[in-house]
Structure 1
């Protein structure tokens, strides 16, 4: 039984390895469905006794820098879902999720973006290493979504690294369908962003 999702021709560079994908089963003119990651509800805060953290958009390899949904086939090939995209480039949707997670947490963190022009006490530098659905059980079975994010927290005063860590989120899709796979991306990314928020709160409270 063939996968119910379609993939299109792609060549990606991940971990310094160039991998090719297989040909799309859909014509190029097929309209794309657009997906976003869910976000927690924001809390209300007054700006008093909060630590301002600037969240920089994650750096990502070229194959993960666009708005296409990446998948890794059972034989190791990297491909993209046809007729399905993220609402924004992958680094941007992760940056937005992290900011929303900080805003929704009960911590003392107040996240800002570089374009806000706000003086922050800390800067969060991020590297998106993985953001793909891995067909580890064969191309016809539900894949495992993996999100891996490396981070460095830098104090603005003195430009010293306060801490660094790597966060990994995994979620198995409930089926081999686009909607189920996107839901697994949402779960894995939310896990990473929440762990990152908790870690940042601890580091900045020291």
Structure 2
């Protein structure tokens, strides 16, 4: 910290050229101090962006209804750009020098939206607030998105989320399920951990997409029988 000197009465009575020289020297010292701070080495951060491509399953039913997706909700420590790791029990840390390119909630929402759109198995799917007249709404609660050692030598990429499918006409929950996917990493290196996350995200997205289509179709058929 650089202290700014106060002028004593004697200093205040110095000739103007001397006061100007003192001010100039002080400015140089201040700028020099700032440059030293700016030149401190910074730890580089590598950003990772898992981008799973999930093929549609022929067993998924064809849906003639429309769906809106709400952004997954999650605790702040879970839905973070820092890559979380649980080395032991309740201990919670993050990988140094590594970060997600986008939030876990956004990864899940983007992957699911693209999977359903590309599958051709549903009449329409869009994000909440897009303006489509959705028949159903999918609400997601992200519970875990972390690397967990769980007493093992190598960590696993764990994704846990709860899904609720709501019928918009009466706002009733027609189906709900908790999804849990754990994929072992090939090593403790961050790159391998991220690869494990991509596999977990791929599996979770496929399961969630198939369950959503099947649950909505089951409710539609039951309603038509009444």
- Tell me the TM-score range normalised by the shorter chain: 0.7 to 0.9
Aligned residue pairs total 174
2: CA distance, partners of 1:159 / 1:116? 18
Q: Note closer, same or farther for the CA distance 1:49–1:170 as it changes in structure 2 (3 Å cut).
A: closer
Q: Distance in 2 between the 1:144 and 1:34 partners?
A: 19
In the alignment, the residues of structure 2 paired with residue 202 and residue 42 of structure 1 have an alpha-carbon distance, to the nearest angstrom, of 16
The answer for the alignment partner of 1:157 in structure 2 is 169
Per-residue CA deviations over 1:47-100 (Å, capped at 9, x if unaligned) read x97422111111101101221111101243111111111111221111111112
How much is the aligned-residue C-alpha RMSD, in angstroms?
2.3
1:94 equivalenced with 2:116 (yes/no): no
CA contact (8 A) 1:42 1:103 kept: no
Larger Rg over CA atoms: 2
Distance 2:53 2:89 in 1: 36
1:199 is the counterpart of 2:207: no
Give secondary structure in 2 for the equivalent of 1:158. Answer: coil
Change (3 A) 1:49 1:63: closer
Deviation string for 1:87-142 (max 9, x for gaps)? 1122111111111222233533632112422221111000001110101245xx32
Whether the 8 Å contact between 2:160 and 2:179 is mirrored in structure 1 is yes
8 Å Cα contact 1:42-1:100 kept in structure 2: no
In 1, Cα distance between equivalents of 2:54 and 2:89? 40
8 A Cα contact 2:63 2:123, kept in partner: no
Structure 1 spans left out of the alignment, 5+ residues: 1-26
Structure 2 alignment gaps of length 5 or more: 1-39, 57-61, 219-226
TM superposition outliers: structure 1 runs of 4+ over 3 Å: none
Q: Distance in 2 between matches of 1:123 and 1:178?
A: 35
8 Å CA contact 2:54, 2:206 repeated in 1? no
TM-superposed CA distance for 1:178, in Å, is: 0.8
